[in-house]
Amino acid sequence: MSSLHTTQELKIYNSISGQKEIFTPITEGNIGMYVCGPTVYSNVHLGNCRTFISFDLIYRYLKHLDYKVRYVRNITDAGHLENDADTGEDKIAKKAKLEQLEPMEIVQRYTVDFHHVLSKFNTIPPSIEPTATGHIIEQIEMIKTIIDNGFAYVANGSVYFDVQKFDVSYKYGKLSGRNLEDMVNTSRALTAQDDKKNPQDFALWKKAEEVHIMRWPSPWSDGFPGWHLECTAMSTKYLGEHFDIHGGGMDLKFPHHECEIAQGEAACGKSPVNYWMHANMLTLNGRKMSKSTGNTISPGELFSGENSIMGKPFAPSVTRFFMMQAQYRSILDFSKEALEASEKGFHKLMEALQTLSKVMTSSTTTGLDIQEWRQECYDAMNDDFNSPILIAKLFEAVKFINTAKEGNATITAEDHAILQQTLHDFVFEVLGLQDTNAATEDTSELLSGTVKLLIQLRAEARANKDFATGDKIRDELLAMGIQLKDGREGTTFSLS
Ligand code: AMP
Ligand code: ZN
């Protein structure tokens, strides 16, 4: 249906050229797309979710256009050091020490959480989800190639990428628009402990210190691969040396993606990616949502309504719809008012879909040119996945449906079928929304009331030293997927 009477010319904003470009795949009909996945050392927050939901929209639309898409999104389970730096503790190992668990227990726990949350948001799993620890051999091989090509050096058991040398042949800074000379002039001097020749050089392999538990043998030392390298090794393995689309959050553009380009060119002699796509940030109170600053709401707290900011629960589909109301390249601020407005809009859209099935057909269509409207829906998405314009178009249809219901517009049987199919395609298949009707909302209010009553009963039991009953309530709720959290201001709950 997607190509029926519509013209398709997809344009994608390419971060490397700073322009919207007509999209042409390397192999007709096929697309290779790589998106940087999470570092699994903590629960995902809504900011992380926005980036993955943005790429889910992109994936869904490309599939809707009948492309065969191989979508690779990695799991970073080693090599990502604190502050994205080349020194310091591994984020996962640090958490493992803190929680007295094996690093792989941390990885497992937060990978499960990541999948669970993304499935609540109705995202489609990627075609391949490789892990960094599963590709140590590929990373070592790639480092050997980069050394052989003369763009890396070994120092004290670690291997560093030689940015200055690379810059002479290929130019460093193409994606971020940074100039190496400027970087050199403004960077801090190296200290005596640094193994690097220049501050811009970055680690491909790090020799593990005595305390570092996540380590693998290599020709240079027992150690671990650099964070930037894993993405190059895995994208090359599954999509080839040169592929169509590489995405990630805006904050990964520099240095992570800049280093990926450098590694790809240094290893394979060619630019790895045709279209670089960057999704913008979700903010809360005007500041980037981030785990490290505590400026965040978790998906579980949002769905349960148990947080101090939103005051009531919001369903995953409503939250997804809210995110779709901004284009993926715009900053989006999270607030109660904005989510409430989205909730109203979402229900209006779902109601109109119900109403349409009851609208009688006629011999003519008046009030909306269905073919033209359909083309405009595609035009919106073809213009760099402009979901807010698409949603505005969907609301033109909502208005038409409600007018037709009142008998002030008419529609032929043929147009009715096209309208229904197009709405269905865009609302469910492309935007990935799910019909949660008013009943679900009532249920969540009911659930919230019931759990609060149980929390009160548990508190009473504990006050009477009846800890067995208190624990029973907590454990049985947990078994049902409702987690109680005891804090200074009493007990709250989240849906896991
Ligand atoms: P991390 O696990 O920190 O590597 O982050 C996983 C992904 O979430 C990356 O692509 C980040 O760019 C993205 N991300 C982190 N914070 C935000 C935010 N506030 N809004 C949107 N995306 C974010
Ligand atoms: Zn990456």
pLDDT at position 85: 78
CA–CA gap between residue 154 and residue 314 (Å, rounded): 52
Q: What is the DSSP letter of 272?
A: S
The larger pLDDT score, comparing residue 404 to residue 296, is at 404
Q: Is the CB of 50 under 6 A from ligand 1?
A: yes
Q: How confident is the model at residue 496 (pLDDT cuts 50, 70, 90)?
A: low
Query: What DSSP string describes 367-390?
Result: S--HHHHHHHHHHHHHBT--HHHH
Q: Is the CB of 252 under 6 A from ligand 1?
A: yes
Question: What is the tens place of the pLDDT at every residue in 387-425?
Answer: 999 999 999 999 999 999 999 999 999 999 999 999 999
Asked if pLDDT for residue 167 goes beyond 80, the answer is yes
In this structure, the strands spanning 490-495 and 482-487 are antiparallel
Please, how many CA atoms are within 13 Å of residue 456, restricted to the half-sphere of its CB?
6
**Residue of minimum CA distance from atom 8 in ligand 1:** 48
- What's the 350 CA to ligand 2 centre distance in angstroms? 37
pTM assigned to the model: 0.88
Bridge partners (DSSP) of residue 155 are: 158
pLDDT at position 2: 46
Helix (H) or strand (E) holding 334: strand 332-334
Q: Is the CB of 391 under 6 A from ligand 1?
A: no
Of the candidates 50, 82, 81, the residue with the CA atom closest to the CA atom of residue 278: 50
Question: What is the tens place of the pLDDT at every residue in 174-191?
Answer: 999 999 988 888 777 777
Asked if pLDDT for residue 3 goes beyond 50, the answer is no
Q: How confident is the model at residue 480 (pLDDT cuts 50, 70, 90)?
A: confident
- Range list of β-strands (E), 165-242: 202-207, 223-225
- What's the 263 CA to ligand 2 centre distance in angstroms? 12
Q: Is the CB of 288 under 6 A from ligand 1?
A: yes
Of the candidates 441, 487, 157, the residue with the CA atom closest to the CA atom of residue 305: 441
Of 36, 251, 276, 331, the one to substitute when testing ligand 1's pocket (max ligand atoms within 8 A of C-beta) is 251
Asked if pLDDT for residue 271 goes beyond 60, the answer is yes
pLDDT at position 243: 98
Q: Is the CB of 38 under 6 A from ligand 1?
A: yes
